[in-house]
Structure 1
Amino acid sequence: MRTLRTAVAAVGVAAAAVAGCSAPPEPYTAAPTETYSLAPLPEGATYVAATPLPEPVECGDPTASLRPFPPGQIPDSASLEAIRQRGRLVVGLDTGSNLLSFRNPTNGEIEGFDVDIAREVARDLLGSPDKVEFRVLNYDEREQALEDGRVDIVAKTMAVTCERRQRIDFSTVYYDAYQRILVMAGSPVRDVADLAGRRVCVGEGTTSLERVERQQPDAVVVTVPMWSDCLVMLQQNQVDAISTDDTLLLGLATQDPHSRLVGPSMGDERYGIGIAQGNDDLVRFVNGTLERIRRDGTWERIYSRWLSELGPPPGPPPATYRD
């Protein structure tokens, strides 16, 4: 069993008290050159006490999904018809992930890579990419929103895992991301080894959190509801680094030219569209849309619009089916 991770400096404890956030279990002694901001922490920021990590759940290949309906052979389906009768596809996402799903300050519209993927599902199901209703979810709300029926699908940088498959279903993979680290220019952090004893901001309820805990158990982890909160904390010197998918880090980096992506990949994150368990017809329909956009060039156009700074389009990840 791991011991409790050393936590934040005394100034960080004071900031946590001001913000009403949970305080770390033990004082963290900063290196003489380190200074920490006294600004209040964002609402919902929480220091994570280390606990023994569970054994990984095994399920074979978690990315294997249901094969799409044959072209032109979509059967009568109560679940699909309910969405058609409603006249809109209800999509769970967040508005704090720049380039993936964010509110454009110029026109007030919700835009981004994940948004455009969801719009393609609406195009095929309802005849228009505009027939969508977006509901903003925190990361730890994604699965419950599907189980409660508050949303039809979740398109929110959601990695397909065996553990999540115990509660919800997934489409085929529509994007391969890689976890890395974001720091401010001049930071001594270069890779995951350098995170020992340093404060790292991670999204609450994300696979990024578990990967940081497994690869660097001596990091001081702070979780937040929205990735935009991590950027604020990094800018205010309340954390030393942010660790998550390169797609999300790129979106944060475009908002602050003094930030830098560093280090090699810590592991891949294979995004799938989340769907409630038992709704096989919707899973197959969504997979049909993903199959179409792989073939007709739509995926490459969406990538080029939002993620081109990561490099040339790598091509959509191939589908894996289990039936």
Structure 2
Amino acid sequence: MNRPARRRGRPAAILLALLLTACAPAYAPTPVPAPPASPTPTPVPSTSPRSAPDCEDPLASYAPPRSNPEPGEMPAGSTMAEIAARGRLVAGVSADTYLMGSRNPTTGEIEGFDIDLVKAVAEALLGEEDAYELRVITAAERIPVLESGEVDLVARNMTITCERWESIAFSAEYYRSGQKVLARTSSGIASPDDLAGRRVCAPEGTSSLERLRTELPEAEAVAAANHTGCLILFQSGEVDAITGDDTVLAGLVVQDPYAEVLDMEPLSAEPYGLGFNAEQTDLVAFTNRVLADRIADGSWEDSYDRWLRPSLGEAPDPPDQVYGR
């Protein structure tokens, strides 16, 4: 915040003090950490210019190299070298999306399918899978923290869309989900047609909320900060149903045995990608190599079997990796 410039030629210190007192805000300004002392990453320009957003195929990301440089050998001036110098990868994640990114009540650690991806990128960059720092964010904060450079990447079941490509960059698709609806088993809700006049919750700042309003306009949309907030409203009877990606809803069912995911055609396909600052395309390409290697060596399926198979069944085929930016 810039302070008003002092007038020159005021001879009286008392007058100056009165002016400063009168202009002082009635509240304490939000403290802003000085860049040198901040533990957050500083955006580094990409080694290649950013392509203009192209939505002929929003799933097309930046082509990876044939192989990534080894830890300790990142190209000078690259985003990867900046992260290596810091000594840790900073990732924005969920702490309450069960199975994808949630805090283990026993260990206190955040774990899940998305967190496995963070570990893989950290290991490729720094040689150690635990060389990362997690920042817990809401769905609505995913794009702002990337634009501001507070995190290196976001791994928070984020759907790749043309609109989001205008603000950030995405990795290649790492999981294909679909938007469905969760309701109480005794509610009489068996299909989306039964939601007319019912209160349905979805997190703020998500494509699930936007699609609820457009695809199910006869339902009453209710926004919450996250899916845990929706679950609280659901269990207290303030909403009748929750909509979201099937991966997320599967986690909510584990937490509430009286809830079920409706047997329905998904309202949409939800291709997940890791989010990045739009200028750091070198890091996107680096990460795409990590994702492709995980699919090739079976690590992707191992992670699915650990986190998602108990709720969603046999692993589907991994999503195709599409490049072309």
TM-score for the superposition, normalised by structure 2? 0.80
Partner of 1:68: 64
Partner of 2:274: 273
When residues 199 and 72 of structure 1 are mapped into structure 2, their CA distance, relative to the original with a 3 A threshold, is closer
Q: How many residues align?
A: 267
Aligned ranges for residues 27-38 of structure 1 at < 5 Å?
none
Partner of 1:211: 211
**What's the offset of the Cα at 1:63?**
0.7
**What's the offset of the Cα at 1:194?**
1.5
**What's the offset of the Cα at 1:60?**
1.0
Which sits farther off after the overlay, 212-221 or 64-73? 64-73
**What's the offset of the Cα at 1:58?**
7.8
Partner of 2:193: 193
Distance 2:193 2:214 in 1: 12
Partner of 1:151: 151
Partner of 1:182: 182
Distance 2:54 2:130 in 1: 38
Partner of 1:307: 308
Distance 2:298 2:159 in 1: 23
Distance 2:67 2:151 in 1: 26
Distance 1:246 1:149 in 2: 30
Distance 2:299 2:194 in 1: 40
Give the aligned residue type for 1:65: S
When residues 72 and 243 of structure 1 are mapped into structure 2, their CA distance, relative to the original with a 3 A threshold, is closer
Aligned ranges for residues 108-127 of structure 1 at < 5 Å?
108-127=108-127
**What's the offset of the Cα at 1:76?**
3.7
Partner of 1:24: none
Aligned ranges for residues 78-157 of structure 1 at < 5 Å?
78-157=78-157
When residues 147 and 315 of structure 1 are mapped into structure 2, their CA distance, relative to the original with a 3 A threshold, is same
**What's the offset of the Cα at 1:118?**
1.2
Distance 2:234 2:54 in 1: 35
SS at match of 2:256: coil
Q: Deviations over 1:135-180 (max 9, x none)?
A: 0111111101000000000000100000000000000000000111
SS at match of 2:92: strand
Distance 2:220 2:54 in 1: 28
Contact 2:253 2:259 (8 Å CA) reproduced: yes
When residues 224 and 181 of structure 1 are mapped into structure 2, their CA distance, relative to the original with a 3 A threshold, is same
TM-score for the superposition, normalised by structure 1? 0.80
Aligned Cα RMSD in Å? 1.4
Contact 2:202 2:226 (8 Å CA) reproduced: no
Gaps of 5+ in 1: 1-56
Q: Deviations over 1:299-320 (max 9, x none)?
A: 0000000000201011210100
Distance 2:160 2:169 in 1: 9
When residues 72 and 250 of structure 1 are mapped into structure 2, their CA distance, relative to the original with a 3 A threshold, is closer
Partner of 1:238: 238
**What's the offset of the Cα at 1:193?**
1.7
**What's the offset of the Cα at 1:123?**
1.0
Contact 1:77 1:281 (8 Å CA) reproduced: no
Partner of 1:22: none
Which sits farther off after the overlay, 146-155 or 223-232? 223-232
Distance 1:160 1:282 in 2: 17
**What's the offset of the Cα at 1:235?**
1.0
Q: Does 1:260 align with 2:260?
A: yes
When residues 124 and 196 of structure 1 are mapped into structure 2, their CA distance, relative to the original with a 3 A threshold, is same
Distance 1:62 1:152 in 2: 21
Contact 2:68 2:286 (8 Å CA) reproduced: no
Rg comparison, structure with higher value = 2
Give the aligned residue type for 2:178: Y
